[in-house]
Amino acid sequence: MQEQQLYPVSASSGQEALIDQRQYRAMYQLSIEQPVRFWAEQANCIDWIKPFSEVRDCSFDRQDLHIDWFRDGYLNVTANCLDRHLVAMGDKTALIWEADDPDESHRQISYRELYNDVCRCANGLLELGVSKGDIVTIYLPLLPETVVSMLACARIGAVHCVVFGGFSAEALADRIEDSQSRWVITADHSLRAGQQIGLKGNVDAALGRCAGNCVEKVVVVRRSGAAVAWHPQRDIWFSDLLAGQAEHCAPAVMAAEDPLFVLYTAGSANRPRGLVHSCGGYLVYAAITHRYVFDCQPDDIYWCTADIGWITGHSYVVYGPLANGASTLLHEGVPGYPDISRWSQLIDKYKVSIFYTVPTVIRSLMVHGNAAIRGTDRSSLRLLGSVGEPINPEAWQWFYRVFGRGRCPVIDTWWQAETGGIMIAPLPGATALKPGSATLPFFGVEPALFDGAGNRVEGEGEGYLVIRGSWPGQARSILGDPGGFYEAYFSQCPGYYFTGDGARRDADGYYWLSGRVDEVINVAGHRLSSSEIEKALVTHRSVLEAAVVAYPHAIKGQGLYVFVTLCADQAADEHCRQDLVEWLRLQIGGIATPDVIQWAPSLPKTLSGELVRRVLRKIAYDDCDHLGDISNLADPDVLQHLIANRVRPSPGV
Ligand code: PRX
């Protein structure tokens, strides 16, 4: 049994951890029994311009859904991430930036320099007419300017909406349209594994097709220096925007519940959801989870490998580490370029002590064995973290034994874009580890499990994972769709937040996450919606119908298995297959590249015409002996045809 493999705290972490087992128990108990007192104390981890007197006021009821934390408090997020560090550690490195090309010189940016750049950028944005509450889209790769742009928005009370640079022009257009953003900050190109990707070109294309496009200005960071199309009335270089701006900009005074950012994420619907996160509660939660879960201390060099376009980048590249005054590394490139030992080399080069990444990366390094660590000793590491997808015990063991040389705890953190910060994870000085388990809840988090019949599962057991009550980092709404917010997260189990994940709780109360129970697919730790991909497919002229499910993939965790019914006049050939692959890359981005396309004469449906996705999953999982009840299928022959013609995916290694 995996549960037997227990890694006791003493064997896996330093003695000086911030929280030991006794403290964890006491603090956890306090956080659940007296949440108001607990959070009032924890909220002192940030500076308030005007302190709050009310800690929380939350209801998950349909008629009265509201989530308010520290409501009458006022703060500025950047004053916490920058200004308050200047006196004692203005010269401390805030950001270390390493380019895609190892021969290009790197950059180290101190807290004072970051402060100056953020203020200059904030003044530039003010000059462009951006004001409090306005939404600014940021479509940038991992550059210092990305962090500067986010913080510049927060400085003046604007709301940033970062769109992952790997999304296509179409996906960007959807997000700009939905958020009605009037400003876009982008780069000429992004550079990844030596390839140039035309971000500015994508912005031009997106704005060309946005219905009711209201973008006034496009600010462009010069990264590649290669030529780009230019609209003189609309486009401005980032460097010109900052040139001559004052290095001070008064921080906007924000109410705790004012929005800090919107971040689009995949849900069950065929449009992405713009989750709205708050200033006060979000920052408190990002800061304290970053401090306790990573045990982050002043001399640490911290590296979270996530792209800033995802929630992990927001909370654990930018806001958590900067609020805590940490030195944080950004790497523009990918783990395997120019060779597979690149990230191990970066760990040695910068003496990284905390390394936080995704299981997909761990597995992709693991298959290369020693080549992934060749010539490096990684002796600076003291803590390893994992996020984004379940980590299989083999990958955990390799990460622990080989990559971390058996000296660093592996901190498996379960959370979501909606939760704002880490919800279930071991604390390095407090929690014994079990490979593959995210272990125990963070302070203030009360997980629960419900079975399919809607009964709460007590003790050992499995079911849908839900969270009782609120925590400060929780998303506050879906932009423009408060009703959808209720339906998506609070309608399933009254009084609880519904995570969309399945989990098992073992005899020690440890949680083992098993994956999504809804139509969200997690490819390489990237969250995709099956209905969004299906929508994109059916807009292709050759496609009549499509269904997308996940299947287990050795490296990416899950791969995309696509069933397509073509229009009558379209031949099911290799040319068409390639065309559909390219189409999805254009409509959504490279992350939506299907691994398998199976031609389907039609899709399995019930008599009332509802797609029976469950049986498609069984086919994709090669588990056709356990199809379950199929008596409700309108045409059983369809299923037999699909089973007989199942495509065997490549193992992914
Ligand atoms: O299914 C869970 C999986 O990732 C989903 C959330 O994706 P996203 O909102 O993009 O946030 C990713 C980074 C926080 C979850 O519903 N997931 C995340 N972390 C883990 C995980 N599954 C298992 N173990 C984890 N540690």
Question: 154-174 pLDDT, tens per residue?
Answer: 999 999 999 999 999 999 999
Q: What is the pTM of this model?
A: 0.96
Amino acid identity of 127? E
8 Å CB contact between 475 and 420: yes
Tokens of 446: 């009360």
Measured distance between the N- and C-terminal CA atoms of the chain, rounded to whole angstroms: 26
Q: How far is CA 542 from the centre of its chain?
A: 33
Widest distance between CA atoms in the chain: 73
Give the Å distance between the CA of 512 and the centre of ligand 1: 12
Cβ of 389 closer than 6 Å to ligand 1, yes or no, is yes
Atom 22 (ligand 1) nearest CA: 389
Distances from the Cα of 245 to the Cα of 90, 121, 124, 158, 240, angstroms: 20, 8, 7, 18, 10
Question: What band does 619 get if pLDDT is binned at 50, 70 and 90?
Answer: very high
Cβ of 415 closer than 6 Å to ligand 1, yes or no, is yes
To the nearest whole percent, how much of the chain has pLDDT over 70? 98
Give the Å distance between the CA of 349 and the centre of ligand 1: 30
Sequence-ordered alpha helix ranges (H) in 56-156? 77-78, 84-89, 111-127, 144-156
List, as one string, the DSSP characters of 16-83: T-SS-HHHHHHHHHHHHHSHHHHHHHHGGGS--SB--S--EEEE--STT-EEEESTT-EE-HHIIIII
Is the peptide bond preceding residue 338 cis, with omega within 30 degrees of 0?
yes
Could you tell me which residues are beta bridge partners of residue 456?
450
pLDDT of 308 reads 97
Q: Residue 553 class from Cβ within 10 Å (0-12 exposed, 13-18 middle, 19+ buried)?
A: buried
8 Å CB contact between 435 and 393: yes
Could you tell me which residues are beta bridge partners of residue 330?
97
Q: For residues 223 and 187, what is the distance between their CA atoms, to the nearest angstrom?
A: 6
Ligand 1 pocket test: which of 163, 304, 389, 439 has the largest number of ligand atoms within 8 Å of its C-beta?
A: 389
H-helix or E-strand containing 618? helix 613-620
- Identify the sign of the CA torsion 289, 290, 294, 299: negative
Cβ of 179 closer than 6 Å to ligand 1, yes or no, is no
Inform me whether the pLDDT recorded for 11 exceeds 60. no
Give the Å distance between the CA of 323 and the centre of ligand 1: 23
Q: Is 338 helix (H, G, I), strand (E, B) or coil?
A: coil
Query: What's the pLDDT tens digit per position in 209-224?
Result: 877 678 999 999 999 9
To the nearest whole percent, how much of the chain has pLDDT over 90? 93
Question: What band does 1 get if pLDDT is binned at 50, 70 and 90?
Answer: very low
8 Å CB contact between 216 and 183: yes
Ligand 1 pocket test: which of 315, 316, 522, 530 has the largest number of ligand atoms within 8 Å of its C-beta?
A: 522
Q: What is the mean pLDDT of residues 607-616?
A: 92
State the closest ligand 1 atom to the C-alpha of 386, by its place in the atom list counted from 1: 26
Inform me whether the pLDDT recorded for 456 exceeds 50. yes
Inform me whether the pLDDT recorded for 295 exceeds 80. yes
pLDDT of 629 reads 86
Could you tell me which residues are beta bridge partners of residue 450?
456, 464
74-75/254-255 β-pairing:
antiparallel
Question: What band does 4 get if pLDDT is binned at 50, 70 and 90?
Answer: low
pLDDT of 269 reads 82
Could you tell me which residues are beta bridge partners of residue 411?
385
Average pLDDT, the chain: 95
pLDDT of 3 reads 55
Inform me whether the pLDDT recorded for 596 exceeds 70. yes
Cβ of 312 closer than 6 Å to ligand 1, yes or no, is yes
Question: What band does 271 get if pLDDT is binned at 50, 70 and 90?
Answer: confident
Could you tell me which residues are beta bridge partners of residue 97?
107, 330
Residue in this structure with the two tokens 């499910």, named with its chain if needed? 549
Give the Å distance between the CA of 642 and the centre of ligand 1: 31
Tokens of 114: 């970051």
Question: What band does 651 get if pLDDT is binned at 50, 70 and 90?
Answer: low
